[in-house]
Structure 1
């Protein structure tokens, strides 16, 4: 049974909020991933710090030695206010998805909200950051030059959600009718799905509808998008009605028309032309690609992240997609910069930086199972980016202690933005990091949940105070996985 309890772990909403300098708590989060704990409730707040990339990876000390990082873990374990259950986050994720445009509402309910979602005049106002220097077209984008199908080693949805996995047919379909294929804008390749449902499995119908909606609203002009998103007779509307009325044959017919219409646009070169005009990746597309990668690589093996060696504990906590995007905004991360995530877990933040900002992106993780899943994510990420036609920045995921890994230390010297979740670090480990920061270039931004400069020290004996200018910020509720409450973080600049 999944450690995500009885809630689905596959729903990631698309809306992203952006906050200013200081914000008041806002409504319940729109994005979340489940927390993974050991056999006892553990402090998920120790993301990165004790062991996890700020975005999705557990980390435990590799052996019960008295290293500073093990001490950090033990210190975190003694803090009762950091404890929480994985079920809480799972519920938040489920609730967030229920509020998305792809929920199971009646086809005629909330019609005004639905129509506003697909209004062409509003579709162009999608949150992203303009970067004139970035070229978004994937170098292997298929634009109809030949009829041969691309070779892409993706993990198909059917490999993780199928009748063979004890899922059941939906929309009144028989078992021999559930197989379908889905076309994407960047490649002459179709992903295989089965229209089935199973607990903690990919919902094929929802996944397909989300892809259709994003293709129509992001990759096409208003005129091109009309057959896809027309509010009365468009393909997306037909998919939605068929799903809600359990008309499986109607759903498959609408999907077939989508595949044919998109293929025609690809052959005309329309998709390539439209991508060339883009200068930023909308954040809902970023979240969808990252969710697809995670759902097909990490989620089916997520229990591995709860395994640890004797004498250690496993702590998991993550900065959610909106928080990470806000960090990128505040640090002005661009495609020409270098990003380093110290404690990258399964690589979620590292991949997000490469996709959302197109920068050179580094991560370093020491937990073996997390590293293995990170490598699987990196492989799937590369294939998915080609499938969507988007060129990400170069990704480097390193194994080992970020305090000692030579390639990571070399990347730090070139870094423009460094992320380190030191929520539960000991003073010893924070001191080690400060000494590492001596090698950072002037102007490098360091994002942390706790400051490295403390009021009870003087500039005369505090190395951190002498090399870092610190700004304090607040984040709203729903920005981290371990609590729904708001909190604070810091951005330090190397003097």
Structure 2
């Protein structure tokens, strides 16, 4: 049974003061030779981030991922973060380093011996696939298919205006050829489900660069697992003759020509499905995106726009409100569920940094999404992300919600003030805000409509205030909650946050 036309298995969490993450059933113990276990599910729930600055690679064990609410899916490399293995530094208050929860396992570590256990790997994947299929938010009112999806019309001349992987990871960037290929053999192209024009890669590897081989295998897997029914995906996922099997075997045996041949086969088969109308038909039957795919697309955008210029985010004024920190993918997915955000609602992020949260909300649930930031470097990177995000959503054939990223002080921005009056969910990462700015925000909340949810790192209602004179107390009902480890960029530790609801009568 495919992911099409399924009911969502998500349930909005209602616990107070704790976030309880479901622990997935343990997979079958791995065979003796195998060094990493997993399951091929149809895209398990991914870590989701929103406001995030780059982070180093996370723990690689399946147990470590499950402890953070992650799946142990082998569908993404253990030593890769997000799209490729770009090492992401996290910056706040001078720049502490922590680990990102965005990691899944696609293959064993690469030994030829491990390749002998492929069938055991796939059997485990099949067993867990059904359980993972439900890990997406389904909104029956959402139209997922991009209006400019390519359906085989050869007259289409609109080239994909993306930043190609080769633009940030190539021999010119001092990367090294992989898979035993010579320098003049590394150029390849990768087809996506939404466009006739592929992305250009070089099969190279470099520190803090996109790892082309891993990135390509992930894309092929996500396409087959998400866009195709089980029968249609057989040519890609079959345990003995499937394209992913061939790609991974070539990777494990350092067989460059074999990898390129399998990739060419994938490109041709996907283009045939596009011309046949299969991709368009399947997208028309989908009303949600697996969280892994959401995270992967956002990471692709981030790796091509923010990561190469990450040092710019370290430049801020100490002691001001302009301190940069990010909320990671899983935190925002949790917020989307808790606040019951849908494609028909309006989301506003006050202090949106490089725009990660706004982009995630628009992609994951398809809502109208706003952000406002005043730090110049962050605004410039946010604009670059928005441009790449739009182009890459078309590449994937997915229609996101409308995204509006504003510059300047959100207290004075007319567009933001107007959006707040319509907002259903407002996010304020006020961890480092001054008390004056927090008081200003409370005054702004007077214009919110009743029932609007405000998610913040710190409460706006303080115990040391007189309730009669405390505006926040008079207009907000506050729920205090705890987030687990690896939810924010500035610490590995867990912490607290609040969801405040604008009172109906105030």
Q: Shorter-chain TM-score: what band?
A: 0.7 to 0.9
Matches of 1:176 and 1:275, distance apart in 2: 38
Is the CA contact (8 Å cut-off) linking 2:324 and 2:353 kept in structure 1? Answer: no
Specify the SS of the correspondent of 1:489. Answer: strand
Is the CA contact (8 Å cut-off) linking 1:336 and 1:360 kept in structure 2? Answer: yes
Match of 1:243 among 251, 254, 259: 251
Specify the SS of the correspondent of 1:222. Answer: coil
Cα deviation 1:155-182 (Å, max 9, x = unaligned): 0000000011111100000111000000
Aligned residue pairs, count: 433
> Is 1:104 the counterpart of 2:104 in the alignment?
no
Is the CA contact (8 Å cut-off) linking 1:416 and 1:445 kept in structure 2? Answer: yes
> Is 1:385 the counterpart of 2:393 in the alignment?
yes
The aligned counterpart of 1:125 is 133
Deviation at 1:126, TM superposition (A): 4.5
Bigger relative CO (Cα 8 Å, ≥ 6 apart): 1
Matches of 2:133 and 2:180, distance apart in 1: 37
Deviation at 1:458, TM superposition (A): 3.1
Deviation at 1:105, TM superposition (A): 4.0
Deviation at 1:352, TM superposition (A): 0.3
Is the CA contact (8 Å cut-off) linking 1:118 and 1:231 kept in structure 2? Answer: no
With 426-435 and 207-216 compared, the bigger mean Cα shift is at 426-435
The aligned counterpart of 1:462 is 470
Deviation at 1:478, TM superposition (A): 1.5
Is the CA contact (8 Å cut-off) linking 2:371 and 2:404 kept in structure 1? Answer: yes
The aligned counterpart of 1:49 is none
> Is 1:256 the counterpart of 2:264 in the alignment?
yes
Is the CA contact (8 Å cut-off) linking 2:480 and 2:499 kept in structure 1? Answer: yes
The aligned counterpart of 1:45 is none
Check 1:323–1:313 CA distance in 2 against 1; reply closer, same or farther (3 A cut): closer
Is the CA contact (8 Å cut-off) linking 2:228 and 2:282 kept in structure 1? Answer: yes
Q: What does 1:149-164 correspond to in 2, within 5 Å?
A: 149-164=157-172
Matches of 2:320 and 2:496, distance apart in 1: 28
Is the CA contact (8 Å cut-off) linking 1:418 and 1:446 kept in structure 2? Answer: yes
Deviation at 1:479, TM superposition (A): 1.2
Cα deviation 1:217-256 (Å, max 9, x = unaligned): 0000000001101122210111111111110111001000
Match of 2:19 among 17, 23, 31: 23
Deviation at 1:397, TM superposition (A): 0.3
Matches of 2:13 and 2:241, distance apart in 1: 37
The aligned counterpart of 1:339 is 347
Check 1:444–1:263 CA distance in 2 against 1; reply closer, same or farther (3 A cut): same
Specify the SS of the correspondent of 1:397. Answer: strand
Cα deviation 1:74-131 (Å, max 9, x = unaligned): xxxxxxxx96754x32xx24x863x522463433458645543356953861421111
Gaps (5+ residues) in structure 1? 1-15, 37-55, 60-81
Cα deviation 1:306-363 (Å, max 9, x = unaligned): 2347997973321110110000000000111110000001100000011011111000
The aligned counterpart of 2:383 is 375
> Is 1:195 the counterpart of 2:203 in the alignment?
yes
Is the CA contact (8 Å cut-off) linking 1:58 and 1:345 kept in structure 2? Answer: no
Matches of 2:102 and 2:401, distance apart in 1: 29
Is the CA contact (8 Å cut-off) linking 1:126 and 1:283 kept in structure 2? Answer: no
The aligned counterpart of 1:348 is 356
TM-score by length of 1: 0.82
With 278-287 and 147-156 compared, the bigger mean Cα shift is at 147-156
Deviation at 1:456, TM superposition (A): 2.3
The aligned counterpart of 2:278 is 270
Check 1:310–1:444 CA distance in 2 against 1; reply closer, same or farther (3 A cut): closer
Matches of 1:18 and 1:83, distance apart in 2: 33
Matches of 2:48 and 2:110, distance apart in 1: 20
Specify the SS of the correspondent of 1:286. Answer: helix
Check 1:35–1:282 CA distance in 2 against 1; reply closer, same or farther (3 A cut): closer
Is the CA contact (8 Å cut-off) linking 1:340 and 1:412 kept in structure 2? Answer: yes
Matches of 1:278 and 1:321, distance apart in 2: 22
The aligned counterpart of 2:423 is 415
Structure number with higher helix proportion = 1
Match of 2:178 among 167, 170, 175: 170
TM-score by length of 2: 0.80
Deviation at 1:426, TM superposition (A): 2.3
Specify the SS of the correspondent of 2:391. Answer: helix
Is the CA contact (8 Å cut-off) linking 2:163 and 2:304 kept in structure 1? Answer: yes
Is the CA contact (8 Å cut-off) linking 2:54 and 2:310 kept in structure 1? Answer: no
Deviation at 1:477, TM superposition (A): 1.1
